[in-house]
């Protein structure tokens, strides 16, 4: 289908959806609000690829560094609790400790389901932005990841946050860990523990009070915990994304699972595309990533955005089971993101339970 036709069809779909909501609203009894009508109609744009948006670019400040950086600022947490912000910002003061909740969809937010883009394999997509590396997804799925999970009470998974103050709609950065990506990490840990997989969830501040150098500081934390718990097989750097159109409209990637809205999930698996990142074993992480992507697609269709296979490192060179995961954006609610974390956690638990 040509791009012009795709855009025309997308516009027509949106118009039809708006008309449907209007019809529902006009037929409602007196006393029921239009917001209720919109919610009842499940107003999410049709699934597909999100075109023409700017995504928050993660600043991978460990690229080219072969040794552990200084641990300055990595362990001095402020008295309040934290979560991180858009990667493009450099905070100079404490993030807000507000609730991050929103009662209705703001006018500058576009809600959609992003479930296509890149190369399709069976029921999921992989977006390969590397110039020198192509992958056979079926071949990688057939290979066992270099991960061996033992349900023996010892930690097998590390969840941490390079951008610990990232939060969601209403307050996109906060020092309240009950409102930030830390709350999502807690939910993932809960799902792993429910099947007997030991977890360490570290909530050390890496982007506060200084944002620049977050990856260098999270690397120090990561290496310290791997030394403290040598049984750890998998590390998850958990973030929330930020997607904005050129006109300032924020994108809200959402899937409906069991009648409830969940923030969509994106896995980022890095590649040493030019051979200059000091990341020769990237294939092992990718092997785990595609298994996890398939588990999400099998269990919860539309939960996962296309897997992002890109020429970045993001501290994934430290182990053979390291991934960066984005759950929701700055337009998703905390409730949607925690639910997305629950579903992702269940898919992760299933994937790892097959690697014992």
pLDDT per residue as tens, the chain (356 positions): 444 554 555 555 555 454 544 443 443 333 333 333 333 334 566 677 766 666 565 666 655 433 322 222 222 232 222 222 333 333 334 565 544 344 467 889 999 999 999 999 999 999 999 999 999 999 999 999 999 999 999 999 999 999 999 999 999 999 999 999 999 999 999 999 999 999 999 999 999 999 999 999 999 999 999 999 999 999 999 999 999 999 999 999 999 999 999 999 999 999 999 999 999 999 999 999 999 999 999 999 999 999 999 999 999 999 999 999 999 999 999 999 999 999 999 999 999 999 99
DSSP run (H or E) holding 236: strand 234-241
What are the backbone angles phi and psi of residue 231, rounded to the nearest 5°?
-75, -10
Cβ-proximal residues to 55 (8 Å cutoff; 6+ apart), any chain? 241, 242, 243
CA distances from 356 to 138, 145, 344 (A): 21, 11, 19
Residue 46's pLDDT is what?
64
Q: Which residues pair with 174 in a beta bridge?
A: 83, 96
Report which DSSP code applies to 304.
B
Of the chain, the end-to-end C-alpha distance in Å amounts to 44
Place of tokens 């898919």: 347
Residue 130's pLDDT is what?
95
Secondary structure class of 101 (helix, strand, coil):
coil
Superfamily of domain 54-353: Zn-dependent exopeptidases (3.40.630.40)
Interhelix angle 181-194/334-353, rounded to 10 degrees, is 30
CA-CA distance, 323 to 327, in Å (whole number)? Answer: 13
Contact 201, 159 (CB under 8 A): yes
Contact 291, 143 (CB under 8 A): no
Residue 47's pLDDT is what?
76
Residue 327's pLDDT is what?
98
CA 104 to chain centre: 23
Residue 80's pLDDT is what?
27
Contact 308, 127 (CB under 8 A): yes
What are the backbone angles phi and psi of residue 298, rounded to the nearest 5°?
-70, -40
């Amino acid at each position: 289908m040509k791009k012009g036709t795709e855009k025309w069809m997308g516009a027509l779909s949106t118009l039809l959806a708006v008309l449907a909501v209007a019809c529902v609203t006009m037929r409602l009894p007196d006393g029921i609000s239009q917001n209720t009508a919109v919610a009842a109609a499940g107003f999410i744009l049709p699934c597909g690829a999100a075109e023409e948006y700017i995504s928050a670019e993660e600043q991978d400040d460990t690229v080219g560094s072969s040794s552990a950086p200084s641990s300055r600022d990595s362990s001095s947490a402020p008295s309040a609790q934290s979560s991180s912000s858009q990667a493009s910002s450099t905070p100079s003061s404490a993030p807000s400790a507000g609730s991050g909740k929103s009662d209705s969809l703001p006018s500058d937010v576009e809600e959609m389901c992003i479930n296509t883009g890149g190369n399709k394999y069976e029921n999921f997509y992989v977006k390969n932005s590397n110039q020198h590396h192509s992958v056979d997804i079926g071949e990688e799925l057939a290979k066992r990841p270099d991960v061996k999970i033992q349900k023996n009470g010892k930690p097998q998974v590390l969840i941490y946050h390079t951008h610990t103050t990232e939060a969601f709609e209403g307050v996109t950065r906060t020092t309240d860990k009950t409102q930030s990506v830390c709350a999502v990490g807690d939910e993932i840990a809960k799902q792993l523990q429910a099947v007997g997989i030991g977890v360490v969830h570290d909530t050390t501040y890496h982007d506060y009070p200084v944002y620049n150098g977050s990856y260098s500081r999270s690397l120090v934390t990561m290496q310290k915990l791997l030394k403290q718990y040598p049984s750890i097989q998998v590390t998850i750097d958990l973030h929330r994304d930020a997607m904005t159109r050129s006109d300032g409209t924020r994108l809200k990637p959402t899937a409906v699972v069991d009648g409830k809205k969940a923030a969509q999930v994106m896995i980022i698996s890095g590649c040493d595309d030019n051979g200059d990142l000091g990341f020769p074993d990237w294939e092992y992480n990718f092997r785990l990533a595609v298994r996890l992507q398939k588990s999400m697609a099998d269990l919860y269709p539309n939960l996962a955005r296309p897997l992002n296979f890109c020429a970045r490192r993001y501290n994934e060179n430290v182990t053979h089971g390291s991934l960066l995961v984005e759950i929701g954006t700055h337009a998703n609610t905390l409730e949607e993101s925690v639910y997305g974390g629950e579903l992702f956690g269940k898919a992760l638990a299933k994937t790892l339970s097959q690697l014992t």
